[in-house]
Structure 1
Amino acid sequence: MVELVFVVIRFRVGESAQAGFAERMRGAVEVLGRQKGFVSARVGRNVDDPELLALTLEFENIGSYRRALSPYEVKLAAVPLLSEALDEPTAYEDFLT
């Protein structure tokens, strides 16, 4: 049985910096997408606060997500970007299905 975990990582990015941030985000999502257990990713901008961006990721389980952060290529491409996220819990399991 697949036990999906979804991850919500929020960032506060000024509108003038969003183009450069988007390029970095593409690289991070690309490298995370190659990790075992990865299911999907989305990036969005809040409709009421355009400086608030969110990255959502789905992984097969919490172990897959945590292991996905370990490879060297992820540490180079994704971890620096993820370290700029708002300081809040990010991983969620399905509560109502």
Structure 2
Amino acid sequence: MLAVIRYSVPEAQTDQYTTQAREILDLFASQDGFVRGQVSRSVDEPNLWALVSEWEGAGFYRRALSSARMVMYPLMTLMINEPSGYEQVYAKG
């Protein structure tokens, strides 16, 4: 399953955001079921960022979120409130 957590980050907070997003991704990487992840920035809207991760299943992702709550807390005000988990329905390549 794919997890996409989007953030709206003011330019003045970019350095702080990238540091904390890396910490979240590092914590995710230490969790069971983690496949891969990345921190990405929109090429069209530089204040829009995404923390993208791939998991063996939704249960692994949910448990990882629980484990990462304290690390994720400082970025909560920047998080865009929307569903983050996506089930794969078709893949190629």
Same fold (TM over 0.5): yes
Distance 1:70 1:49 in 2: 30
- In the alignment, structure 2 segments of 5+ residues that lack a partner are none
CA shift at 1:23, angstroms?
A: 0.7
Q: For this pair of structures, how many residues does the alignment match?
A: 90
Q: Choose the corresponding residue for 1:83, options 65, 70, 76.
A: 76
- Partner residue in 1 for 2:26: 30
1:96 aligns with 2:90: yes
Root mean square deviation, CA, Å: 1.3
- In the alignment, structure 1 segments of 5+ residues that lack a partner are none
Q: Is the 8 A contact 1:42 1:55 kept in 2?
A: yes
Distance 1:32 1:46 in 2: 22
- TM-score after normalising by structure 2: 0.88
- Which amino acid is the alignment partner of residue 24 of structure 1? Q
Structure having the higher helix fraction is 2
- Partner residue in 1 for 2:39: 43
- Which amino acid is the alignment partner of residue 57 of structure 1? S
Distance 2:27 2:63 in 1: 13
Q: Identity rate of aligned residues, in percent?
A: 36
- TM-score after normalising by structure 1: 0.85
Distance 2:75 2:45 in 1: 20
Structure 1 residues 35, 82: closer, same or farther in 2, change over 3 A? farther
Deviations 1:47-94 (A, max 9, x none): 1100000110111000111111223xx23223x146331011110011
